[in-house]
């Protein structure tokens, strides 16, 4: 099948590679413009663009697909993309973490006679966690399972019919980083399954999303990073794991902003001490016990400013002060 692919990050690139490996032809890649990143703030291509260039796939990088943009330069980019899509021959469009809204007129091109429409790989069990950050919000909320939905796109925000659902358990020590990787693999497998199904001439079973159980995964903001030690241990544990790798949970100690990368809830009786919220209670083999508003959390991996990630026990013992009096707190 001939595919138009729209996506930007590594999550999307993994699906793109799988589609190519399965023998489908990607005739056009849409991805966001190059962004400045790294210490040198050099322009960097997205993972989707890098793969497209490697495979000699044409690439378009409009800042918007809305032809009615008030910005004339953006309007011209959108017009170019629309004209290109209108002229090329393709069978279906696959959209994965693209980052731009597809207007109805673009969806209409993919739904012309003889075409199968546009399909989106969404990393949640819709209608739960529609929106920008389904992986992080699922961990933060304490969900026990998540998965991949292949959705037939419409003009709404993740409101289209699902054509394939694959479930995945969320482990007790799951971070957004590890869950992202597992879901990326599952998403790549799932979209290839759908495309192979269409290529074989089989009809897809479309299922409307339920009207109940709708939740929205709001974009993760940097100001969510600071830990509120007045929360319960399970709440703090979930937030630390949900915010790995971005934005990284933080808290202050000895006038340093420390980052917290992984944690867990210790077994009952493991730490017999109690204290005030944010207080360091002691050390485990690799971690550190910290008092929460209700219960104790075992932090496993931390990072000092300018340092590398390391076990929480080594990180805190390297501070070189009275560890027993150490307490984490919010920025003043």
Look at residue 330 and tell me if it is in a domain. no
Q: Is residue 72 part of a domain?
A: yes
Nearest to 11 by CA among 95, 100, 90: 95
Burial of 282 (0-12, 13-18, 19+ CB in 10 A): middle
- Tens digits of residue pLDDT in 79-108: 999 999 999 999 999 999 999 999 999 999
* Distance separating alpha carbons of residues 10 and 230, to the nearest angstrom: 36
Domain membership flag for residue 311: yes
Q: Which residue blocks in the chain are alpha helix, DSSP H?
A: 10-21, 47-54, 72-87, 104-110, 134-141, 176-199, 233-242, 312-317
Q: Are residues 205 and 250 in the same domain?
A: no
Rounded Cα distance, 128 and 150, in Å: 14
Q: Give residue 220's pLDDT.
A: 95
Q: If you average pLDDT over every residue of the chain, what do you get?
A: 94
Q: Does 287 lie in the same domain as 211?
A: no
* Cα distances (angstroms) measured from residue 317 to each of 220, 304, 311, 312: 31, 12, 10, 8
- In angstroms, rounded to a whole number, what is the distance separating the alpha carbons of residues 177 and 245? 6
In the numeric block, which tokens belong to residue 207?
A: 């299922």
Are both 182 and 233 inside the same structural domain? no
Q: What is the pLDDT of residue 246?
A: 94
Distance CA 224, CA 105 (A): 36
Per-residue pLDDT band for 317 (boundaries 50, 70, 90) equals confident
- Picking from 201, 217, 233, the residue at the C-terminal end of a domain is 217
Phi, psi of 148 (to 5 degrees): -120, 135
Residue 85 sits in which domain range? 2-217
Q: Is the pLDDT of residue 262 over 70?
A: yes
> What's the whole-number mean pLDDT along residues 172-192?
97
Looking at the structure of the chain, the number of domains it has is 2
Residue ending a domain, among 184, 217, 250, is: 217
Position 174 in a domain: yes
Structural domain contains residue 332: no
Same domain, 193 and 85: yes
Give dist(CA 298, CA 313) in Å, integer.
Answer: 10
Q: How confident is the model at residue 331 (pLDDT cuts 50, 70, 90)?
A: low
Residue in 93, 94, 91, 106 with CA at minimum distance from that of residue 15 = 94
Lowest mean pLDDT of 38-47, 82-91, 94-103, 234-243, name the range. Answer: 38-47
The residue-averaged pLDDT of 305-313 equals 92
We report the CATH number of the domain holding residue 144 as: 3.40.50.170
61's tokens: 């990088």
> 248-261, pLDDT tens digit by residue?
999 998 889 999 99
Q: Are residues 123 and 267 in the same domain?
A: no
Mean pLDDT of 99-127: 96
Q: Which helix (H) or strand (E) holds 321?
A: none
The percent of residues above 70 in pLDDT, for the chain, comes to: 97
Specify the CATH number for the domain of residue 253: 3.10.25.10
> In this structure, what token pair is assigned to residue 237?
């544990």
Residue 324: the pLDDT is 57
Q: At what angle do helices 134-141 and 233-242 cross, to 10 degrees?
A: 160
Strand partners, 232: 294
Please tell me whether residues 56 and 205 are part of one structural domain: yes
- The answer to whether residues 194 and 239 belong to one domain is no
Asked if 150 contacts 120 with a C-beta cutoff of 8 angstroms, the reply is yes
* 41 pLDDT more than 80: no
Flag whether 126 is marked binding. yes
Taking residues 192-217, report their average pLDDT.
96
Does one domain contain both 182 and 57?
yes
Query: According to the model, what pLDDT value does residue 269 have?
Result: 82
pTM of the model as a whole: 0.93
Query: 125 labelled as ligand-binding?
Result: yes
Residues 229 and 211 in one domain: no
Q: Does residue 102 fall inside a structural domain?
A: yes
In-domain check, residue 11: yes
Confidence class of residue 322 from pLDDT cuts 50, 70 and 90? Answer: low
Per-residue confidence at 281, pLDDT binned at 50, 70, 90? Answer: very high
Q: Do 73 and 90 reside in the same domain of the chain?
A: yes
Question: Residue 331: inside a domain, yes or no?
Answer: no
Q: Are residues 299 and 312 in the same domain?
A: yes
Does the pLDDT at position 49 exceed 60?
yes
CA distances to 105, 119, 126, 250 from 206, in Å: 22, 12, 13, 43
124 is in an annotated binding site: yes
Place of tokens 């400013």: 305
The better pLDDT of the pair 233, 316 is held by 233
Which of these three, 156, 187, 217, is where a domain ends?
217
Question: Residues 37-53: what's their mean pLDDT?
Answer: 88
The proportion of the chain whose per-residue pLDDT surpasses 90, expressed as a percent, equals 84
Categorize the per-residue pLDDT at 319 as very low, low, confident or very high, splitting at 50, 70 and 90: confident
Same structural domain, 119 and 13: yes
CA–CA separation, 147 and 167 (whole Å): 4
Q: How far apart are CA 78 and CA 72, in angstroms?
A: 10
């Amino acid at each position: 099948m001939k595919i138009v692919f729209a996506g930007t990050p590594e999550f999307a690139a993994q699906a793109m590679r799988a589609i190519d490996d399965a023998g489908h032809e990607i005739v056009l890649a849409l991805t966001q413009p190059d962004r400045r990143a790294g210490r040198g703030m050099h322009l960097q291509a997205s993972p989707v663009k890098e793969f497209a260039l490697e495979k000699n796939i044409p690439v378009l990088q409009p800042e918007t697909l809305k032809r009615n943009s008030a910005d004339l330069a953006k309007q011209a980019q959108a017009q170019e993309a629309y004209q290109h899509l209108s002229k090329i021959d393709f069978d279906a469009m696959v959209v994965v973490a693209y980052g731009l809204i597809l207007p109805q007129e673009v969806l209409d091109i993919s739904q012309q006679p003889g075409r199968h429409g546009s399909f989106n790989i969404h990393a949640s069990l819709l209608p739960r966690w529609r929106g920008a950050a389904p992986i992080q919000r699922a961990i933060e909320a304490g969900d026990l399972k998540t998965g991949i939905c292949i959705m037939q796109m419409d003009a709404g925000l993740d409101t289209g019919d699902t054509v394939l659902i694959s479930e995945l358990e969320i482990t007790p020590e799951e971070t957004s980083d590890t869950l992202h990787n597992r879901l990326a693999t599952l998403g790549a497998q799932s979209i290839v399954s759908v495309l192979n199904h269409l290529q074989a001439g089989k009809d897809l079973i479309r299922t409307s999303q339920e009207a109940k159980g709708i939740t929205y995964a709001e974009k993760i903001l940097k100001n969510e990073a600071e830990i509120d030690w007045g929360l319960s241990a399970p709440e703090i544990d979930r937030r630390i794991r949900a915010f790995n790798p971005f934005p990284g949970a933080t808290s202050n100690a000895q006038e340093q902003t420390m980052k917290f990368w992984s944690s867990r809830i210790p077994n009952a009786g493991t730490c017999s001490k109690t204290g005030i919220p944010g207080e360091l209670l002691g050390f485990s083999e690799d971690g550190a016990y910290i008092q929460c508003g209700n219960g104790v959390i075992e932090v496993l991996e931390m990072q000092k400013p300018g340092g590398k990630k390391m076990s929480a026990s080594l990180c805190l013992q390297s501070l070189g002060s009275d560890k027993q009096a150490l307490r984490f707190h919010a920025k003043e």
